Amino acid sequence: MTAHETRLRVRYAETDQMGLVYYANYFVWMEVGRAEYCRAAGIVYRDLELETGLYLAVAGAQCRYLAPARYDEEIAVHTTIGSANRRMIEFQYEIRRGQDLLATGSTRHIFLNRNMKPESLPERYWPAFGIPIRDRT
CATH classification at residue 63: 3.10.129.10
16 tagged catalytic: yes
In a domain? residue 61: yes
The SS3 of residue 73 is coil
Q: Residue 129: which of 15, 55, 43 has the closest Cα?
A: 43
**15 vs 137: CA distance, rounded Å:** 55
In a domain? residue 111: yes
Q: Are 107 and 60 in contact (CB under 8 A)?
A: yes
Q: What is the pLDDT along the chain (137 residues), one digit of tens a residue?
A: 689 999 999 999 999 999 999 999 999 999 999 999 999 999 988 999 999 999 999 999 999 999 999 999 999 999 999 999 999 999 999 999 999 999 999 999 999 999 999 999 999 999 999 898 764 44
Alpha helices, H only, 9-105: 25-40, 45-52
Containing structural domain, residue 16: 3-129
In a domain? residue 137: no
Catalytic residue from among 16, 47, 72, 100 = 16
In a domain? residue 136: no
Number of structural domains in the chain: 1
Give the rounded distance of the alpha carbon of 113 from its chain centre: 20
In a domain? residue 34: yes
**133 vs 135: CA distance, rounded Å:** 7
